[in-house]
Amino acid sequence: MAVVGRGRSTVPGSARTLTFIIALVVLLLLPTSVAAENPSTWSGRLAHITSGSERIADSIQLSSPPYRLAFDSANGLLYVVPYSGNFLTVVNPTTGSAVASIPTGLNPTDVVFDPANDYVYVANWGSSNVTIISGQTNTQVGSIGIGPDANAITYDSTNGDLYVAEQQPSVVGSSNVTVINGTTNSVLTSIVVGSGLNGGGANGVTFDSSDNKVFASYLFYSDYVLLQDSGVAAINGTTNTLNSTLPVGNWPGGLDCIQYDPEAGEVFACDSDNSLVYVVKAKSNQLIGTDPVGSTPGAAIYDPANDKILIVNNGSNNVSEIDGATGKVVGSLPVGSGPTGAAYDSANCEVYVANPGSDNLTALFGGESCQRETYAVTFTETGLPSGANWSASLPGVTNWSRTTSIEVTLTNGTYAYSIISGNTTFRAPGGTLVVDGASRSVLVSFSPVTYLVTLSESGLPPGTMWWFNITGQHPSYATAAAISLSLANGTYSYRVGTASTEYLAPGGSFSVKGNPLNLGVRFALVASRETFLGVPATEGYALLIGAIAAVSAVVITLAVFRHRKKVRSTGAKPPV
């Protein structure tokens, strides 16, 4: 989920002064201090009610106002950011009770679950950092420094990175989306979106699993003139660079929350001041429609059980339902007072809405679509090291396992799926599966990620055949100046040679470390290859000397024989 931060200001001058006064009055009416959630003060689930769209609603009462929340699909728990306070409350949605309270940075604003490492990441507005929480121990395990005014955070399951939307007021031309490597928990880069006027920034972020893009909603304005820049920015998740921007949003408002619909391939961006949602085609980042929703929309979530986008309306205490197939509003659901955030519980097919005005969470059940007959689909992997973490992702839900199989239940239909491993040195292709009234199995074959290794030769005459042989593998031959092959991470020893006996080049070793590699080899003429009599010179001279010696021996032998024969024929005595 991507949402607008609590510190966002969308209008200049006197309007913002009035907003500040109202906010100050609200703060004075709140309790003077808010402590971390005490699990014993939670009252659990309340009675069920039926909404107009035949969904069943339930609620969990809290001891302090909730603000944002995320669901951890590995442990089945909800992680709730408070409206005021520097902590995170862990809630068991099945029992409706709190199980832990975890300290965070100052003024946390948003939270997201990373299934690759089972960490929960909390974006902290007041301390310009991200708190890292272990989902296995529910303890803080570190933090990552980022830019000021962290507003929203999302996870990219394709590259394993996290994207933090930041508002950086009065920092002209500053970066507004910080990218964090989920494996090393370090900042990779920062990306500038929008015009960089002297107020505002990025408000929300959402991940597009089809094209590995991240979409950010942004709003910039000037304190001195009626000038604003509002729109949707598309970020390439492979290169972590800005692809394009789409200017949308009407004065005096601008874009706040933003959410991707994987079934429709569309992005829904909220304009809280004008109570509108803009519908954007994800592939082209082009506007294709608008929808009027409830008052002051401030958060959005995708409900895969019903293929709907749910828009959380802070001002009208309800949730607008947008049909994913048509992109149009089809109804609304009443929730608690002043809702500000939502999360999807994939284990129970529920959407939880945070209501700070009534100190509770509203649970919206999946309804009829969750009660249709389902069938088991089992993904079975081969190729990973024993115990490696891997996942199968279907629209709106990701399931992780450290065993060789993952089982999900699906209704009849066609589903696109993607496969990733927590061990980034292995990769497996995704695909499409069809469920048609029966259980089925899907074989997942992991293979090591390979990188292009190119060996370029110099010194040989053009067109000369040469070869490159890595120990234990078949040699590669070429008459061109370069030989390329794909190799996994590791250290390799090699030899090189050529069909021409006049040239030699040394072998060696090299290491592949997660990046393409270029190597060079130089062939040189061998001095001992000078020829005589059609063979190497030393051999030729030796043959010549041997031939001369042999001929000389024959000549001397014949001369002696002839001399003795002559002596015998004349009767002369041979000399003594």
Q: Across-strand partners of 162?
A: 155, 180
Higher pLDDT pick, 565 / 328: 328
Round to whole Å and give the CA distance between 180 and 155.
10
Least confident of 165-169, 318-322, 571-575: 571-575
**Torsion 70-347-391-393 (CA) sign:** negative
pLDDT of 326 higher than 80: yes
How much is the pLDDT for 287?
94
In the structure, what pLDDT confidence band is assigned to residue 382 with cuts at 50, 70 and 90? Answer: very high
Which of the following CATH numbers is that of domain 13-369: 2.130.10.10, 2.40.110.20, 3.20.20.70, 1.10.3720.10? 2.130.10.10
pLDDT of 108 higher than 90: yes
How much is the pLDDT for 167?
81
Higher pLDDT pick, 561 / 534: 561
In the structure, what pLDDT confidence band is assigned to residue 34 with cuts at 50, 70 and 90? Answer: very low
Judge contact between 218 and 193, C-beta under 8 A. yes
Judge contact between 179 and 189, C-beta under 8 A. yes
Round to whole Å and give the CA distance between 494 and 511.
11
How much is the pLDDT for 47?
32
Helix or strand run (H / E) with residue 22? helix 13-29
How much is the pLDDT for 9?
38
Q: Please, what is the average pLDDT of the chain?
A: 82
Q: How far is CA 483 from the centre of its chain?
A: 32
How much is the pLDDT for 37?
39
Percent of the chain with pLDDT over 70: 80
Round to whole Å and give the CA distance between 479 and 468.
12
Residue pointed to by tokens 């059980």:
305
pLDDT of 245 higher than 80: yes
Return all residues near 282 (Cβ < 8 A) that are at least 6 apart: 208, 210, 211, 213, 215, 234, 260, 265, 266, 267
In the structure, what pLDDT confidence band is assigned to residue 399 with cuts at 50, 70 and 90? Answer: confident
As a whole number, mean pLDDT of residues 128-140 equals: 95
In the structure, what pLDDT confidence band is assigned to residue 22 with cuts at 50, 70 and 90? Answer: very low
Give DSSP secondary structure letters for 31-95: -S--PPP-GGG--EE---EE-TTS-EEEEEE-SS-EEEEEEETTTTEEEEEESSSSEEEEEETTT
Task: Give Cα separations from 513 to 7, 356, 486 (angstroms).
Answer: 43, 49, 13
As a whole number, mean pLDDT of residues 62-90 equals: 92
Judge contact between 299 and 339, C-beta under 8 A. yes
Report cis status (omega within 30 of 0) of the bond before 475.
no
How much is the pLDDT for 422?
85
How much is the pLDDT for 187?
95
In the structure, what pLDDT confidence band is assigned to residue 249 with cuts at 50, 70 and 90? Answer: confident
Structure tokens of 518?
Answer: 């270029």
Return the closest-CA partner of residue 309 out of 281, 338, 330: 330
Question: How many CB atoms are closer than 10 A to CB 375?
Answer: 15
pLDDT of 492 higher than 70: yes
Q: In 155-173, which positions are buried (b, 16+ CB within 10 angstroms) versus exposed (e)?
A: bbbbbbbbbbbbbbbebee
Task: Give Cα separations from 372 to 239, 393, 411, 441 (angstroms).
Answer: 41, 21, 7, 20
Least confident of 188-202, 374-388, 447-461: 188-202
How much is the pLDDT for 322?
94
Round to whole Å and give the CA distance between 68 and 389.
28
Give DSSP secondary structure letters for 427-486: E---EEEEE-SS-EEEEEE-EE-EEEEEEEEESSPTT--EEEEETTS--EEESSSEEEEE
In the structure, what pLDDT confidence band is assigned to residue 12 with cuts at 50, 70 and 90? Answer: very low
Residue pointed to by tokens 């270029």:
518
Q: What is the pTM of this model?
A: 0.67
In the structure, what pLDDT confidence band is assigned to residue 41 with cuts at 50, 70 and 90? Answer: very low
Condensed to tens digits (0 to 9), the pLDDT of residues 416-459 reads 899 999 888 899 999 988 888 889 999 999 999 999 999 999 99
Higher pLDDT pick, 227 / 326: 326
As a whole number, mean pLDDT of residues 260-283 equals: 92
How much is the pLDDT for 320?
94
Instruction: Bin 427: left if φ > 0, else alpha if -120 < ψ < 50, else beta.
Output: beta
Judge contact between 130 and 149, C-beta under 8 A. no
Q: What are phi and psi of 529, to 5 degrees?
A: -90, 5
pLDDT of 215 higher than 50: yes
Round to whole Å and give the CA distance between 213 and 63.
38
Percent of the chain with pLDDT over 90: 52
Round to whole Å and give the CA distance between 391 and 413.
21
**Torsion 541-547-548-550 (CA) sign:** positive
In the structure, what pLDDT confidence band is assigned to residue 512 with cuts at 50, 70 and 90? Answer: very high
pLDDT of 310 higher than 60: yes
Task: Report the C-alpha dihedral over residues 408, 412, 413, 419, rounded to 10 degrees.
Answer: 10
Q: Which of 199-208, 226-235, 310-319 has the highest mean pLDDT?
A: 310-319
Round to whole Å and give the CA distance between 136 and 144.
20
Judge contact between 310 and 294, C-beta under 8 A. no
Higher pLDDT pick, 350 / 49: 350
Which three-class secondary structure state does DSSP give residue 402?
coil
pLDDT of 261 higher than 90: yes
pLDDT of 8 higher than 90: no
- What is the fold of 450-529? Immunoglobulin-like (2.60.40)
pLDDT of 30 higher than 70: no
Determine the straight-line distance between the first and last CA of the chain, rounded to whole angstroms. Answer: 122
Round to whole Å and give the CA distance between 219 and 125.
17
Determine the number of helices (DSSP H) and then strands (DSSP E) in the chain.
3, 50
Structure tokens of 93?
Answer: 């949605």
In the structure, what pLDDT confidence band is assigned to residue 466 with cuts at 50, 70 and 90? Answer: very high
Task: Report the C-alpha dihedral over residues 559, 561, 565, 567, rounded to 10 degrees.
Answer: 60
In the structure, what pLDDT confidence band is assigned to residue 372 with cuts at 50, 70 and 90? Answer: low
Least confident of 6-20, 188-202, 331-345, 516-530: 6-20
Structure tokens of 97?
Answer: 């009770």
pLDDT of 63 higher than 90: no
Least confident of 15-24, 83-92, 351-360, 544-553: 15-24
Round to whole Å and give the CA distance between 548 and 287.
95
Residue pointed to by tokens 């491993």:
421
Judge contact between 343 and 351, C-beta under 8 A. yes
